[in-house]
């Protein structure tokens, strides 16, 4: 394993408004924001000042092979601001030749000239947050864009990809949104593949505390697809995408050959990564650190990091992945699964304790192996596709129970 992390996530918290399902660390700025000059620009510039300070606070580092600019809605920023961010990494970390540099963009938050500007700034992969092509579903979910905005954005990305200006692009959809029954979901999937995105992410809707959806659910005003509809939607997803040439390489992610997200594989494979920005979480050497979610507290934290001492998790050391249960969980999300034997060896239990604990895990997973939800090849375990991946929570709950019992 490389001594220094080779990947960096950068959080841009700004968005026009908060979607009804969102519990991320975001700062809504309204529809009239102008990030260079004008309404909202002072807030944006102030945040970028502290973000730059945080990025520069790391003393021991090496060049990066992946950068992911997420949010929020990073495409609210002007291309000049994105260029400044990428240049900061070039000058102070270095960026490998052939690095994957991804930026999240939302329909209706950028135009064709902005897209060209982002590409000129160094972005070579985009992740487009469509979520649905159905205007009624978008409105019920608090999305700002319309289906025509999504289609226009897809066409722009398709064109720059086919022209060789970017390496890849991804399209995001959310499964089981309000009003999204079997027909509506199938329509969304079929519409998505007409644009031939090299990568598609399909996220299940989760109802999080503090969201509009959570409040509506509590007062009985949120109608979602029932369990049977949700399962049919999942089956349809797998069938339609596989028949369209997409391979499921992770529970929520499908791609055409050679278009896996290199950056996200860093998380799933248990490697270290840098993370910068309000509310973001880093784990450069195995210990996680989450930044404050509130702007005032984040700025105070950055000043402390820059002027005093870095948090111990950010100081160069040998990589130790202490959260083994999380490493197993993330590894099982991948198509190739995870070598449990190699993961458990990191615990240095000794031969007798190792055999006992490994045996206990196998006992917890016995029924899933017998039912074909969990497959085994030697010491490598992986979820069957599609059934194991669709019912992965049951397998993971059993693993977490095992981990709690032996600790």
Q: What is the CATH number of the domain that holds 176?
A: 3.20.20.70
Helix (H) or strand (E) holding 15: strand 14-15
Q: Please check whether residue 62 is in contact with residue 30, taking contact to mean a CB–CB distance below 8 angstroms.
A: no
The average pLDDT across 188-194 equals 98
Torsion-angle region of 320 (φ positive above 0: left; ψ -120 to 50: alpha; else: beta)? beta
- Tell me the mean pLDDT in the region 162-184: 97
**Number of domains observed in the structure of the chain:** 2
C-alpha to C-alpha distances, 340 to 270, 297, 311, nearest whole angstrom = 13, 39, 31
Write the pLDDT tens digit of every residue in 225-270: 888 888 899 999 999 999 999 999 999 999 999 999 999 999 998 8
Q: What is the pLDDT of residue 318?
A: 63
Give percent above pLDDT 90 in the chain.
79
User: Is residue 373 one of the residues assigned to a domain?
Assistant: yes
Does residue 246 form part of some domain? yes
- Token pair 């809605």 is found at 73
Is 336 found in the same domain as 207? no
Beta bridge partners of 169: 126
% helix / strand / coil in the chain, to the nearest 5? 45, 20, 35
Whether residue 231 is found in the same domain as residue 340: no
Span 31-78, pLDDT tens digits: 888 888 878 889 999 999 999 999 999 987 889 999 999 999 999 999
What average pLDDT does the chain have?
93
Determine, yes or no, domain membership for 308: no
Q: CB-hemisphere CA count at 13 Å for 371?
A: 13
Residue recorded with tokens 């375990």: 381
Q: Which of 378, 330, 373 is nearest to 358 (CA)?
A: 378
Whether residue 72 lies inside any domain: the answer is yes
Do 330 and 262 belong together in one domain? no
Return d(Cα 386, Cα 328) in angstroms, integer. 19
Residue 278 lies in a domain: no
For 397, the domain range is 324-406
Which of 226, 244, 268 marks a domain boundary? 268
H-only helix segments in 251-322: 262-268, 295-307
Same domain, residue pair 119 and 259: yes
Among 268, 283, 307, the domain boundary falls at 268
What integer pLDDT is reported at residue 319 of this predicted model? 59
Q: Which helix (H) or strand (E) holds 127?
A: strand 125-131
Q: Are 33 and 149 members of one domain? A: yes
Tokens of 388: 């194991």
In order of 236, 238, 318, 358, the CA distances from 183 in angstroms are 10, 15, 51, 45
Q: Residues 330, 255: one domain?
A: no
Eight-state DSSP code of residue 2: -
Query: Is the same domain home to 245 and 129?
Result: yes
Q: Which residue's structure tokens are 């997420």? A: 70
Any domain includes 1: no
* Beta pairing, strands 7-12 & 274-276: parallel
Are 395 and 368 contacting, i.e. CB atoms less than 8 angstroms apart? yes
Do 226 and 330 reside in the same domain of the chain?
no
pLDDT at 31 (0 to 100): 84
Which residue is listed with tokens 């790391």? 58
Q: Are 119 and 166 in contact (CB under 8 A)?
A: yes
The phi, psi pair for 209, rounded to 5°, reads -60, 145
157/73 Cα distance (integer angstroms):
17
Q: Is residue 292 part of a domain?
A: no
Contact assessment for residue 211 and residue 192, using Cβ atoms and an 8 Å cutoff: no
pLDDT number for residue 2? 47
Q: Which two tokens stand for residue 312?
A: 């111990």
User: Which pLDDT tens digit goes with each residue over 314-364?
Assistant: 876 665 655 788 889 999 999 999 999 888 887 778 888 888 999 999 999
Could you tell me if 390 and 245 lie in one domain? no
Residue 312 pLDDT more than 80?
no
Is the same domain home to 87 and 215? yes
> Would you say residue 290 lies in a domain?
no
- CATH value at residue 391: 1.10.10
Residues 380-407 have a mean pLDDT of 92
Together in a domain, 221 and 140: yes
Tokens of 4: 């220094």
Please indicate, yes or no, whether residues 243 and 132 belong to a single structural domain of this protein. Answer: yes
The radius of gyration computed from the CA coordinates of the chain, to the nearest angstrom, equals 22
Tokens of 181: 């029954």
- pLDDT per residue over 113-165, tens digit each? 999 999 999 999 999 999 999 999 999 999 999 999 999 999 999 999 999 99
Of 268, 284, 306, the position where a domain reaches its end is: 268
């Amino acid at each position: 394993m490389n001594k220094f992390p080779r990947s960096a996530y950068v959080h841009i918290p700004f968005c026009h408004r908060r979607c009804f399902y969102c519990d991320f660390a975001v700062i809504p700025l309204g529809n009239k924001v102008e990030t260079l000059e004008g309404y909202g620009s002072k807030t944006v510039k102030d945040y970028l000042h502290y973000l730059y300070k945080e990025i520069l606070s790391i003393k021991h580092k090496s060049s990066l092979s992946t950068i992911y600019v997420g949010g929020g809605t990073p495409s609210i920023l002007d291309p000049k601001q994105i260029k400044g961010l990428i240049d900061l990494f070039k000058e102070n970390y270095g960026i490998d030749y052939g690095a994957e540099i991804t930026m999240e963009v939302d329909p209706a938050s950028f135009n064709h000239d902005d897209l060209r500007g982002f590409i000129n700034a160094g972005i070579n992969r985009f992740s487009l947050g469509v979520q649905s092509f159905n205007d009624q579903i978008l409105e019920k979910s608090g999305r700002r864009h319309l289906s025509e905005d999504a289609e226009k954005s897809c066409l722009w990305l398709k064109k720059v990809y086919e022209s060789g200006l970017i390496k890849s692009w991804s399209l995001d959809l959310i499964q089981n949104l309000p009003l999204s029954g079997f027909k509506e979901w199938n329509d969304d999937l079929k519409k998505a593949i007409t644009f031939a995105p090299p990568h598609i992410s399909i996220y299940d809707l989760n109802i999080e505390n503090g969201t509009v959806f959570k409040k509506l659910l509590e007062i009985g005003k949120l109608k979602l697809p029932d369990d049977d509809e949700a399962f049919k939607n999942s089956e349809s997803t797998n069938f339609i995408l596989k028949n369209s040439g997409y391979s499921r390489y992770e529970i929520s992610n499908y791609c055409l050959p050679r278009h896996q997200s290199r950056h996200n594989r860093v998380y799933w494979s248990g490697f270290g990564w840098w993370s910068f920005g309000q509310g973001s979480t880093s784990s450069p050497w195995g210990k996680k650190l989450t930044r404050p979610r509130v702007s005032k507290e984040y700025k105070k934290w950055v000043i402390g990091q820059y002027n005093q001492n870095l948090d111990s998790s950010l100081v160069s050391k040998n990589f130790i992945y202490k959260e083994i249960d999380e490493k197993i969980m993330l590894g099982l999300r991948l198509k190739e699964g995870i070598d449990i034997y190699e993961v458990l060896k990191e615990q240095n239990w000794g031969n007798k304790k190792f055999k006992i604990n490994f045996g206990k895990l196998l006992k917890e997973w016995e029924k899933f192996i017998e039912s074909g939800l969990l497959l085994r090849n030697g010491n490598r375990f992986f979820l069957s596709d599609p059934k194991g991946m669709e019912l992965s929570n049951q397998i993971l709950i059993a693993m977490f129970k095992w981990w709690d019992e032996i600790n």
